[in-house]
Amino acid sequence: MFHRYIDVLLPYPLDQSLTYLLPEGLEVDAGWMVEVPLQNRTERAVVVERHSHPPDVHIKEMATPVFEGPVVSEAQIELARWMAEHYLCAPGEALFKMFPSPHRLSKKAKSDLASVERPTSPAESLILNDEQSGVFSLLCDELDAGRHSVHLLHGITGSGKTEIYIRALQHALDIKRSGILLVPEISLTVQTINRLQSTFGNELALLHSGRRPKERFAEYMDVLAGRRRIVVGTRSAVFAPVSRPGIIILDEEHDASYREHSTPRYDARQIARRRCETESSVLLLGSATPRVEMRYAAERFDVRRNPESKARFFYHRLTERARGALPDVQIIEQQGDADISRTLLLEIEKNFESGRQTVLLLNRRGYQPYIQCRTCKSVVECPRCSVGLTAHRDGRLLCHQCGWTEREMKQCRSCGGPLKKQGTAVQKVEEYLLTRFPSMRIERLDTDAAAKIDVEDVLSRFLQGEIDLLTGTQMIAKGLDSPGVTLVGVLQADRGLALPDFRAQERVFSLLMQVAGRAGRGEEAGRVFFEALNTEHPVLLLAREQNYDRFFAEEIAERRESGYPPFKRLIRILIRSREEAVAVKRIEELASLLTTELSDKDELLGPAPAPLTKLHNNYRYHLILKTTAPDRLRGVLKERLPAFKARLGEKAFVELEFDPLDML
Ligand SMILES: Nc1ncnc2c1ncn2[C@@H]1O[C@H](COP(=O)(O)OP(=O)(O)OP(=O)(O)O)[C@@H](O)[C@H]1O
Ligand SMILES: [Zn+2]
């Protein structure tokens, strides 16, 4: 019998699918993208089911398929439904995060779905050391057994984790399965991508937003069709429709880029876990500085330490560098107003003169971070956000939260007094170095530079030794494997420790460990200098020792004491509105509504203004729920939030985040 009806999902907060009539003679199935009439326009939607149950109401005919053939798999539709339950979003919102949108492609255009050819070339083969082979052979056993397991690969910087990833992916292919490797940022991963390309050739698909839409879509479709079985990409590549993934790998599992910033605020680590559970795959999470929660779980559930463990968890350590040794770290005092201390300048000079490379991190964008009125002392703020503007070298003032830009003004907005710029950010450091060392080849990498220059080109030149000093923000701390780097400097190393956020220490510690890890990866020993105001800060001292275990022990004790994750789970609910009074009123209503639902396992903090109280012209007030029974609270929210949201009208919006990464 002809199934005349189709149910479709749209990328909007609709809890339900919508039903349309399928025109006679049109073949459309689950997974297809179609255009449907909605009010007086047409919208793109994805078919999730075809059936023969006429709904009670009058329904319209769908218009046309956008593309001939499915654009998502059944498994992705299933996953979208799970996400809807887990993140309390609409299934359509989740599903539309999973595929690159087909650009002006029609039936006829199918032939121009030409994706990239990638020749393989034989890679030099390394012999795995004992630690690496131990991990690799266990991963192979788990892959061969075809069952689900989770592995935390905690390996110091330079311990050769990438080598294990590549071999594990190869093994997945050998046993006729597929694999996904997620990385924080593609342009910073040039070396690994090159390795993958030469190993996997046309089996490899590159999925990330930096690609041209047509190519990206073409490679995505190759993956869906099973023509490419190894995927590498950023966060959203976790949805790649490889069938039967043998393994999903997340490199730098601690990285914040694995969290999505718009609804649904999914976490690629959770999605990967879910996929691996349902598809009987191996989940491999690698880092030199695993998240505190992850490390805690790994130790507790490791099946070799705890045979009773309910989860099949493995905690692996790589304690030696594959080449070279961990660098020696010193802490030095930041000198008043100077951009860089004299000690560090001398080190940079010496290093340059002996033909070695330097990495210099200052995790602060712009030229000077404060602009203050000399008369009334007020700080120049963004007109849309409650944060100060940063002066950039091109004479503009920029808001790093919302992107607001204006020309630098001469006088204070409120009193007309003279303004003074203060502090040092990374552009100022670059400028200083360029004047001080005119013959040094210096490049800067940060988000501002990345918008103008080719990041991959800079990194390649750096790796080839054509750049003497690379300065920049956290971008330069990740993954770089250049044997020529023997000196790493960090300016304002204790910055960020005072942020009102329980993860502040973890973030700084991990950044310092990562960037220190760029030094001494070749034959030559590495040296690292942390420049700070508070040279005695315990986090700095632990980073100097490169002692993750002690950092972990102290941090976990503090979390236990104060009831933060992993001991309690957090849910953050934020209300934003253009009118402050509305935001305040609504958050109070929400707080009293939720108070009646709390059990003795839950605790409600707030309501309070979010630390970033105004953002993009919206006032933000939030509640934090702390709980040891997150599933029950999820149920409560699922039941109570829709009616609450419906009453809000157009003036206020709710943002919901489970396990938030920050509270700003
Ligand atoms: N078994 C081995 N023998 C020799 N060299 C190796 C071996 N394994 C890896 N290497 C080399 O060691 C270097 C560091 O490896 P890799 O970049 O994989 O480290 P990593 O653990 O990913 O480090 P990070 O966490 O700092 O990114 C690379 O140049 C790699 O080619
Ligand atoms: Zn702003």
pLDDT score at 61: 81
Smallest-distance ligand from the CA of 521? 1
Q: How far, in Å, are 378, 423, 483, 589 from residue 392 at the CA level?
A: 19, 12, 33, 42
How many angstroms is it from 211 CA to the middle of ligand 1?
27
Q: What's the confidence (pLDDT) of residue 1?
A: 55
The answer to whether the CB of 290 is under 6 A from ligand 1 is: no
With a cut of 90, say whether residue 107 has pLDDT above it: no
Q: Is the pLDDT of residue 118 over 90?
A: no
pLDDT tens per residue, range 422-479: 999 999 999 999 999 999 999 999 999 999 999 999 999 999 999 999 999 999 998 7
Going by CA atoms, what residue is nearest to atom 18 of ligand 1? 160
User: What pLDDT is stored for residue 16 in this prediction?
Assistant: 87
- DSSP assignment letter at 386: S
pTM beyond 0.90: yes
Share of the chain above pLDDT 70, in %: 97
What does R_g of the chain's alpha carbons equal in angstroms?
Answer: 26
Q: Whose atoms come closest to the Cα of 614: which ligand?
A: 2
Cβ–ligand 1 contact at 162 (below 6 Å): yes
**140 among the known binding-site residues?**
no
Sheet containing strand 602-615, strands side by side = 602-615, 618-627, 569-577, 652-658
Q: State residue 547's pLDDT score.
A: 96
pLDDT at 173 over 90: yes
Tens digit of pLDDT for each residue in 477-513?
987 899 999 999 999 999 999 888 899 999 999 999 9
Q: What domains can you pick out in the chain, each with its CATH number?
A: 5-108 (3.40.1440.60), 130-318 (3.40.50.300), 328-366+425-561 (3.40.50.300), 569-658 (3.30.70.600)
Mean pLDDT of 193-219: 91
Write the pLDDT tens digit of every residue in 617-638: 999 999 999 999 999 999 999 9
* Contact 159 CB / ligand 1 (< 6 Å): yes
**Tokens linked to 612:** 């970033």
* Any atom of ligand 1 within 6 Å of the Cβ of 163: yes
Cβ–ligand 1 distance for 479 under 6 Å, the answer: yes
| DSSP label at residue 183 | -
Distance CA 198, CA 374 (A): 59
Q: Say yes or no to pLDDT of 640 above 90.
A: yes
Residue of minimum CA distance from atom 15 in ligand 1: 160
pLDDT score, position 329: 97
Q: Which of 116-120, 178-182, 410-414, 531-535 has the lowest average pLDDT?
A: 116-120
Judge contact between 425 and 366, C-beta under 8 A.
yes
- Does 412 show up as a binding residue in the annotation? yes
End-to-end CA separation in angstroms for the chain: 56
Averaged pLDDT score across all residues of the chain:
93
Compute the distance between CA of residue 534 and CA of residue 10 in angstroms, rounded to an integer.
53
Is the pLDDT at 58 greater than 90, yes or no? no
Query: Ligand 1: which residue has its CA nearest to atom 26?
Result: 157
Q: Is 276 annotated for ligand binding?
A: no
The answer, yes or no, to whether residue 225 has pLDDT greater than 60, is yes
Q: Is the pLDDT of residue 415 over 60?
A: yes
Q: How remote is the CA of residue 405 from the centroid of ligand 2, in Å?
A: 8
- Ligand 1 centroid to Cα of residue 159, in Å, is 5
Query: Once rounded to an integer, what is the mean pLDDT over residues 514-525?
Result: 93
From atom 23 of ligand 1, which residue's Cα is the shortest distance away? 158
Closest CA to 29 of 47, 5, 42, 9: 47
Residue range 168-179: mean pLDDT, rounded: 97
